[in-house]
């Protein structure tokens, strides 16, 4: 974007605001990317199982990145390049960094989706606790009834009652049947959970 100093103060101020918005967008994007690890590794080539909901979430995120985020960053790079000297162009450097992080994230998601396998939830055995089981149990020490759904690690969300299959509680519950008591080692000691029901959504 080239500044035209002959225009009215209002127009010049509008140009400044546009640049600030682009700068803020890039800074926010870089922060969001840095909050997670998106470097591709051999671990991403391992076959992983997902629920229908979890796999769709990955596909939606990839679509957002390739159709919206990628175009926005390309536009920001083009705008910054128009300003001239790239050696002292902080906005250009920020846009290029954001582009590199974005492409790394896209590559990682593409690898995850390529190696994803969909779980057939209709064939889940409800006689014992398995992946995607919704388990109701009583914490005997607290005499408190709780319900958790055991999901793949990437779909875990404690706020919605979904715990990772790799968590201590899930590991302790796996394979157990209704009426059985799972003893789980936690930092505070041993926790006993009596299973009262096993279902699936």
pLDDT tens digit sequence for 37-56: 444 444 455 667 787 888 89
Report which of residues 7 and 151 the model is more confident about.
151
Report which of residues 65 and 118 the model is more confident about.
65
Task: Locate 132 and state its tokens.
Answer: 């995607």
Which residues is 48 bridged to in the sheet? 116
Q: Identify the burial level of 26 via C-beta atoms within 10 angstroms of its C-beta, where 0-12 means exposed, 13-18 middle and 19 or more buried.
A: buried
The span from the CA of 121 to the CA of 134, in Å, is: 12
Which ranges in the chain belong to alpha helices (H)? 9-34, 52-64, 70-81, 90-114, 168-173
The span from the CA of 103 to the CA of 66, in Å, is: 9
pLDDT tens digit string along 102-120?
999 999 889 888 888 877 7
pTM: 0.54
Q: Average pLDDT for residues 140-168, to the nearest whole number?
A: 91
pLDDT at residue 31 is higher than 70: no
> Which domains are assigned to the chain?
9-118 (1.10.287.180), 121-199 (3.10.50.30)
Percent of residues, the chain, with pLDDT higher than 70: 71
Confidence of residue 26 (pLDDT cuts 50, 70, 90): low
Confidence of residue 161 (pLDDT cuts 50, 70, 90): very high
pLDDT at residue 17 is higher than 80: no
């Amino acid at each position: 974007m080239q500044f035209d100093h002959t225009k009215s103060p209002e127009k010049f101020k509008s140009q400044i605001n546009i640049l600030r918005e682009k700068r803020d967008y890039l800074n926010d994007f870089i922060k969001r990317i840095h909050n997670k690890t998106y470097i591709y590794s051999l671990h991403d080539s391992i076959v992983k199982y997902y629920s229908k909901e979890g796999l769709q979430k990955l596909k939606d995120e990839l679509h957002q990145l390739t159709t919206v985020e990628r175009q926005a960053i390309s536009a920001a790079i083009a705008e910054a390049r128009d300003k001239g000297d790239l050696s002292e162009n902080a906005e250009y450097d920020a846009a290029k960094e954001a582009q590199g992080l974005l492409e790394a994230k896209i590559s990682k998601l593409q690898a995850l989706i390529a190696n994803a396998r969909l779980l057939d939830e209709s064939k889940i055995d409800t006689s014992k606790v398995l992946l995607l089981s919704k388990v109701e149990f009583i914490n005997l020490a607290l005499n408190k009834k709780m319900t958790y759904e055991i999901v793949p690690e990437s779909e875990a969300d404690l706020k919605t009652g979904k715990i990772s299959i790799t968590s201590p509680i899930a590991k302790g519950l796996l394979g157990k049947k209704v009426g059985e008591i799972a003893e789980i080692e936690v930092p505070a000691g041993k926790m006993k959970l009596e299973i009262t029901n096993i279902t699936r959504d």
